[in-house]
Amino acid sequence: MDQYHTSKITNQRYRPTYHIATPGGWLNDPNGLCYFNGYYHVFYQYHPFSAKWGPMHWGHVRSKDLVHWEQLPIALTLGDQEDPGGCFSGSAIVKDNRLYLLYTGQHYYADHDLNHFFEVQNLAYSDDGIHFTKYSGNPIITAPKDNSQDFRDPKVWFQDGYYYLVIGSRAKDKDQGRVLLYRSSNLTNWQEMGPIAEASSAKDEGYMWECPDLFKINGQDVFMCSPMGMDKQENQFLNYSQSCYSIGQLDLSKPQFTGTPFRDIDSGHNFYAPQTFLTPDHRRIMVGWMSTFEGEPKEDPYGWAGVLTLPRELKIISDHLYNYPVAEINNSHHDKVLDDVITVSKPQSLTLSDSQHLDLQFKFSADGIDRLTWQMTDQDSCLIQLIINQQNVTLIRCGADPKRYAQLAGPLTELRILVDTSSVEIFLNQGWASFTERYYANGKVTHQLQSSQKQPIKVIAYSLG
Ligand code: FRU
């Protein structure tokens, strides 16, 4: 009965040291991000019995500082009447000192075909933030008649005296992605308010919008979701599934969200299903899953799979969404391992004691730098390369993968790269653009920099992890 034992980690080779990963088993979406009784909580889609996606539980970690995470017991286990096929993604809210989780209960039909199911929304609660009880009145929401089988990932918030939630949905008639709004005064009885945003066409904006989120930053509403099936555009929406955002206004009286066309939240190969929450000091923090369902993570032979991104603070400046590692990361730097001013007209390797656990920061002149290449190489070949050509940024994951792109609004003045054993998170101009990537190195890793300009570059590196 091996499947009833948690998957064992058999090799530390690709394990991150300061990112959230499972203690053995598979991870996908972040769920239920919140602050409760002095701790930040992050839950995640979890299959404990193998390093492959399987019957979904909610794994659980908590932290005092958003950097050091403590593994807790599994928060939600599937198998009750309202979640026999899995506890799928969802969110959290605190009400009267009690932590509530809203999640999707998965139901498969007797044919056991994973593509043939129905989905309902359920509630669970906890007073200690560790042990959860499922609400006896589940399900709290079932799908409306005009919905296809895809109806999942509730994101809850409180506004003007009511609880609201959005649910990812696929309209039955048009077969297009949309998001549905619900309202409640008590978290248990929910009234359907209708669709508040819909794909313009399934080809352009996807047939199913997973993991929606809706929140305010400085009075503007931000809508995020992870559409499946969007057509690729020349320089964006290039992943198997995307995570997009739109900035606009939610009119609760209609109800309707109107906003800018979708844009990628992160331009890398490995970013999906992000969710956000508000810290007690009112910062909007996002965590995503560093992957998509495309390809097999190389750590899976070693008993685990999947990493969450660093918590990143979101800001809007001039109608653009910035994402940047939370300031708490700066407090956990161990040593400054490099502090130099260099010119790199020839490719130059940086001298770093631990090249795979780093916060690497480059500062350029106020006018910015026009041409720059950074690359990470292992004993065999190039792993990841970032090329700046004026405001055009190209990321190459060396090997067969297609490139990824971002366009800056001005010259590059700042570049920050956080490396953790098998992940790289790259932030340009304080998070105007970001690239999230997994990499799998063989042997010694070096970082190289080159620019055809003779401009002095300030380089600072801290060890982390
Ligand atoms: C997104 C997703 C969600 C679902 C969960 C299942 O990655 O497909 O829509 O709730 O993963 O694990």
ipTM over 0.90? The verdict is yes
Q: CB 90: neighbour CB atoms within 10 A?
A: 30
Q: What integer is the mean pLDDT of 128-145? A: 98
CA 63, 69, 71: angle at the middle one, nearest 5? 110
pLDDT the model gives residue 151 = 98
pLDDT value at 240 more than 90? no
pLDDT digits (tens, 9 = 90+) for 389-406: 999 999 999 887 789 999
Average pLDDT of the residues of the chain: 95
pLDDT value at 1 more than 80? no
Ligand 1 touching residue 285 (CB < 6 A): no
The top-scoring range by mean pLDDT among 78-82, 111-115, 345-349 is 78-82
Of all protein residues, whose CA lies closest to atom 9 belonging to ligand 1?
210
The continuous run of DSSP H or E covering 331 comes out as helix 328-331
pLDDT tier at 296, thresholds 50, 70, 90: confident
Q: Let me know if 144 is exposed, middle or buried by CB neighbors in 10 A (0-12, 13-18, 19+).
A: middle
Ligand 1 touching residue 45 (CB < 6 A): yes
pLDDT value at 3 more than 90? no
pLDDT the model gives residue 71 = 97
pLDDT value at 125 more than 80? yes
pLDDT value at 423 more than 70? yes
Tokens (6 digits) for 235:
């320089």
- In the chain the domains, ranked by start, together with CATH numbers, are 2-325 (2.115.10.20), 333-463 (2.60.120.560)
Pairwise CA distance, residues 249 & 167, whole Å:
18
CA dihedral defined by 249, 253, 256, 258, rounded to 10 degrees?
Answer: -30
**Is 29 assigned a catalytic role?**
yes
pLDDT value at 348 more than 70? yes
pLDDT digits (tens, 9 = 90+) for 89-108: 999 999 999 999 999 999 99
pLDDT the model gives residue 4 = 61
What amino acid occupies position 241? S
Provide φ and ψ at 176, rounded to 5°.
Answer: -130, 155
CA 399, 401, 402: angle at the middle one, nearest 5? 130
**Integer angstrom CA distances of residue 344 from 70, 391, 393, 426, 456:** 41, 19, 19, 20, 8
Three-state DSSP class for 2?
helix
Ligand 1 touching residue 29 (CB < 6 A): yes
Pairwise CA distance, residues 127 & 36, whole Å:
10
Pairwise CA distance, residues 336 & 321, whole Å:
30
What amino acid occupies position 66? L
Provide φ and ψ at 230, rounded to 5°.
Answer: -75, 145
Phi-psi map region of 366: left, alpha, beta (phi>0 left; psi -120 to 50 alpha)? alpha
Share of the chain above pLDDT 70, in %: 99
Q: CB 335: neighbour CB atoms within 10 A?
A: 11
Ligand 1 centroid – CA 104 distance (Å) = 9
Q: How far is CA 403 from the centre of its chain?
A: 20
Ligand 1 touching residue 299 (CB < 6 A): no
Q: What integer is the mean pLDDT of 268-283? A: 97
Q: What integer is the mean pLDDT of 122-150? A: 98
**What's the predicted TM-score (pTM) here?**
0.97
Q: What integer is the mean pLDDT of 42-54? A: 97
Contact 308, 42 (CB under 8 A): yes
**Integer angstrom CA distances of residue 440 from 7, 321, 353, 437:** 21, 30, 19, 10
Ligand 1 centroid – CA 293 distance (Å) = 10
Ligand 1 centroid – CA 358 distance (Å) = 31
pLDDT value at 2 more than 70? no
The continuous run of DSSP H or E covering 204 comes out as helix 202-205
pLDDT digits (tens, 9 = 90+) for 356-390: 999 999 999 999 999 999 999 999 999 999 999 99
Q: What integer is the mean pLDDT of 199-224? A: 94
CA 53, 285, 248: angle at the middle one, nearest 5? 100
